[in-house]
Amino acid sequence: MTDTTQPTLPSKTGFEKTIDGKKTNLYLLKNKNGAEAAITNYGAHLLALLVPDKDGKLTDVVLGFSDIDGYKKALSSYYGATIGRYGNRIAKGHFVLDGRRYDLFINNKPNTLHGGSKGFNDVVWDVTQSNDQSITMTYLSKDGEEGYPGNLNVKVTYELTNDNAIKISYEATTDKNTIINLTNHSYFNLNGVGSGTILDHTLQLKAANYTPIDSTLIPTGEIAPVAGTPFDFTKAATIGSRINNTDAQLKNGKGYDHNFVLDKHDISTPVATATGDESGIVLEVFTDEPGIQFYSGNFMSGSNTFLNGKTDEQRTGFCLETQHYPDSPNHPKFPSTELKQGETYKTVTIYKFSVKK
Ligand code: GLA
């Protein structure tokens, strides 16, 4: 049965608060083709994104909640969040930089995950600029915050472009050498929020290799070919077609929760393409990052209620988190995540939506 109800965007009232002494709010973006997005400066979250499906009906493709309490409750799932200072895991919560050991908070035993106990997803950002199609937010992560060295000035811009893409640009500078790995943790369901599992979505990843993990989801250090494994998405396949295979790597991730090594990462061609089987909505991901975490929503548990009243049942959303590889500071052979004093960190990811022709 086709659902004809129009999706709505969250209302401002759920996001007007004072947290840590700073005001939070909701910001709406709209492009010239009727696509709309909602963003809050609490954790620089992408709250919702309405794009047309194959029949022109607006569909909310980003999982999200109606108020900040919803985000606070689901904090460890990182719905729509901006992640930092270090996206993904660092083994046992420590690393060595310039000969000194740094200890981080273990929030995902035995590792640190997505910034530690209070990551960039749980702080209030300053809105420095906003107009109908873009919003820029900044945050100063102090020297020693969450155990990381250096005062880090971070800037994130979301732009809703007229070709129905959300372009996310990140920038950062530091006054001491540090490590950084920023990403966005939106969960997508291209058939619409709460429309069922994403197992029949097709996915293509331009990645001939991935980084296998141990049972705590830390890379073993190996760069392994996907050929002949359930990780081969070099040709489009449905997400669900092999997810239940007996495979040690799928068992470690409880499904897909792995970093794929992108063949190319030059922003001009998509590194990932996903299609909603019912909506015909196509998502293409462009990035200059070397990796992408494909997470198939394995830990979603049905305990959170989305804006439209549906619950977050297992595998009803998937993430494509563009990134440097997990635990890079402890793997000298992986591309470096070090940001030196005086340098500027810059990275861009585009999530572009269209419909299948
Ligand atoms: C990341 C991790 C997953 C999981 C989700 C949030 O994508 O890789 O293991 O923790 O965040 O639930």
Catalytic (active site) residue 331 = no
DSSP letter at 335 equals: P
Q: Is the pLDDT of residue 2 over 70?
A: no
Nearest CA to ligand 1 atom 12: 77
Q: Are 149 and 97 in contact (CB under 8 A)?
A: yes
**Tens of pLDDT along 14-67?**
999 999 999 999 999 999 999 999 999 999 999 999 999 999 999 999 999 999
- Residue in the block written with tokens 């295979």: 245
**pLDDT at residue 1, rounded to an integer:** 46
For the chain, the average pLDDT equals: 97
SS3 assignment, position 49: strand
Catalytic (active site) residue 185 = yes
**Cβ neighbours of residue 355 under 8 Å, at least 6 residues apart?**
52, 53, 54, 279, 280, 281, 282
Q: What is the mean pLDDT of residues 81-87?
A: 98
Domain 12-355 architecture: Distorted Sandwich (2.70)
**pLDDT at residue 4, rounded to an integer:** 60
**pLDDT at residue 11, rounded to an integer:** 97
Provide φ and ψ at 248, rounded to 5°.
-60, -35
Cα torsion at 204, 207, 208, 214 (round to 10°)?
A: -110
Nearest CA to ligand 1 atom 3: 257
Rounded to whole angstroms, the Cα distance separating 319 from 161 reads 21
Q: What is the mean pLDDT of residues 188-212?
A: 98
Would you place residue 266 in the very low, low, confident or very high pLDDT band (cuts 50, 70, 90)?
A: confident
* Structural domain spans, the chain: 12-355
**Tens of pLDDT along 158-199?**
999 999 999 999 999 999 999 999 999 999 999 999 999 999
Atom of ligand 1 nearest to the CA of 257: 8
**Tens of pLDDT along 299-348?**
999 999 999 999 999 999 999 999 999 999 999 999 999 999 999 999 99
Q: Which of 45, 114, 185, 331 is catalytic?
A: 185
**pLDDT at residue 136, rounded to an integer:** 98
How far is ligand 1, taken at its centre, from the CA of residue 77, in Å?
A: 7
**pLDDT at residue 3, rounded to an integer:** 58
Rounded to whole angstroms, the Cα distance separating 352 from 240 reads 23
Q: Which residues line ligand 1 (CB under 6 A)?
A: 77-78, 113, 217, 257, 293, 295, 299, 319, 321
**pLDDT at residue 265, rounded to an integer:** 81
